[in-house]
Amino acid sequence: MKTIKKAVLAYSGGLDTSIILKWLQDQYNCEVVTFTADIGQGEEVEPAREKAKKLGVSEIFVEDLREEFVRDYVFPMFRANALYEGEYLLGTSIARPLIAKHLVRIADQTGADAISHGATGKGNDQVRFELNAYALNPQIHVIAPWREWDLNSRERLVGYAREHGIPVETRKDGGADYSMDANMLHISYEGGELENPWNRPDPEMWRWAVSPEDAPDTPEEIELGFEAGDAVSLNGKTLSAAQMLASLNTIGAKHGVGRIDLVENRFVGMKNRGCYETPGGTILIKAHRAIESITLDREVAHLKDDLMPRYASLIYNGYWFAPERQMLQGMIDDSQKPVNGLVRVKLYKGNVDVTGRRSDSDSLFDESMVTFEDDHGAYHQADAEGFIKLNALRLRIAGRKGRLQ
């Protein structure tokens, strides 16, 4: 085992990371620096400071990263309309490079020779944390407790906690705890009854969006203003990136928007079932595609759609700081220069419906071309014949040669 004098731990103040903190002290006999980030997880982060103090930590970092998270990570991802496997808005995935960046920064700042995280050896998060950390500091040493210790069950974890005086909170209904992750973009749920993909999620599990059946009977329309592909105003009011996402979360959750239940293919090789709530993101991606629909050139839009699954996989698998993601991001960001204007959406019982889109400065929509009334010569319909025959030529040749059945 490598000698470690000081390690920086991504610390939430919860049971698992409190156990890791104590385990690092005991196993490595090292000083532990804790880093707690507020990325909009909906819980007070200051209690983590007091918990760390009680466990003997003297260097404690508690930082508000909400604006940085949305501005520099969430919004760039949404410019790409990123969806993993057609459904997942990457709420957990996109937070990991931000945390890794600050772990590496604090390690350098405090003279630590290692960083540590609470991701299990079965999941994707270990990969995301570590790939991003190594990209930023190739010499950093990573301690992944779940790959080293023998506390490989909830029973053993709780036993270790009680043995070392770490408070253990249990569900009031006596059921199994969910493995949860939360930030400004989403809440995720895994484990418990969700480990059987046939089981219906417990209605009491959801914490953010109301059930669509219980959402208001009256729809609500909102207007989103976009500049260079990013949402900058809501109903005419200019908002910061974090304010925008927080506002959309509140409105979307009220109308039952953003719940999904899916089985995804993890990078480590297994399939996993998870449930997610992403109310603001669900509104944002629909509105962003709507403003792109009238401002982007057709082939630019189609090329973006072709590349999006690859881009989403890079983020899902932990390659935020990889050169290929940065290359794609440069192209995506360049495509967004004309993506300016207003989008109107209607929210109703879990649905997000676009009811209008407008760009006074960059619209490529030409009413004179598409009208069913007299277009006064704007478009010559006879021109379509040559276009069709040219594109049909290879099919006609193949047909004459008996190649098409």
User: In this structure, is residue 229 part of a structural domain?
Assistant: yes
Query: Of the residues 125, 181, 230, 335, which is catalytic?
Result: 125
Residues 116 and 216 in one domain: no
pLDDT score at 120: 84
User: In this structure, is residue 1 part of a structural domain?
Assistant: no
Residues 240 and 259 in one domain: yes
176 pLDDT above the threshold of 60 = no
- Mean of the pLDDT values across residues 158-180? 75
Q: Is there a catalytic annotation at residue 125?
A: yes
> Over the chain, what is the mean pLDDT?
94
Residues 205 and 256 in one domain: yes
pLDDT score at 143: 97
Extract the tokens encoding 158: 């709780």
Domain limits for position 243: 179-296+338-358
Residue 267 belongs to domain with CATH number? 3.90.1260.10
173 pLDDT above the threshold of 80 = no
For residue 38, give the H/E element and its range: strand 31-38
pLDDT in tens, 272-283: 999 999 999 999
Confidence band of 14 (pLDDT split at 50, 70, 90): confident
- Mean of the pLDDT values across residues 345-369? 97
User: In this structure, is residue 143 part of a structural domain?
Assistant: yes
pLDDT in tens, 26-42: 999 999 999 999 999 98
179 pLDDT above the threshold of 60 = yes
378: which residues sit within 8 A by CB, 6+ positions away? 366, 368, 369
Residues 20 and 112 in one domain: yes
pTM of the model: 0.94
User: In this structure, is residue 316 part of a structural domain?
Assistant: no
Residue with structure tokens 């500049």? Answer: 227
Residues 374 and 351 in one domain: no
Confidence band of 248 (pLDDT split at 50, 70, 90): very high
Query: Of the residues 12, 66, 79, 96, which is catalytic?
Result: 96
- Mean of the pLDDT values across residues 219-231? 98
- Mean of the pLDDT values across residues 221-243? 98
User: In this structure, is residue 281 part of a structural domain?
Assistant: yes
Q: Provide the 3-class DSSP secondary structure of residue 230.
A: strand
CB 48 within 8 A of CB 24: no
User: In this structure, is residue 86 part of a structural domain?
Assistant: no
Residues 213 and 248 in one domain: yes
CB 67 within 8 A of CB 40: no
Residues 137 and 190 in one domain: no
pLDDT in tens, 147-158: 999 998 878 988
Residues 27 and 151 in one domain: yes
Residue with structure tokens 């404690």? Answer: 60
Residue 101 belongs to domain with CATH number? 3.40.50.620
Q: How far is 251 from 111, CA to CA, in rounded Å?
A: 44
What single-letter DSSP state applies at residue 218? S
User: In this structure, is residue 324 part of a structural domain?
Assistant: no
User: In this structure, is residue 242 part of a structural domain?
Assistant: yes
Extract the tokens encoding 384: 């379509």
Query: Of the residues 71, 105, 179, 344, which is catalytic?
Result: 179
CB 256 within 8 A of CB 212: yes
Final residue of a structural domain among 129, 163, 197: 163
Q: Is there a catalytic annotation at residue 334?
A: no
Q: How many domains does the chain have?
A: 3
Q: How far is 206 from 201, CA to CA, in rounded Å?
A: 9
DSSP string, 271-327: EEEEEEE-HHHHHHHHHHHHHHHHHS-HHHHHHHHHHHHHHHHHHHTT-TTSHHHHH
162 backbone dihedrals φ, ψ, rounded to 5°: -65, -35
Residues 283 and 378 in one domain: no
pLDDT in tens, 136-146: 999 999 999 99
Residues 104 and 233 in one domain: no
C-alpha closest to that of 30 among 54, 3, 5: 5
C-alpha closest to that of 296 among 341, 232, 329, 326: 341
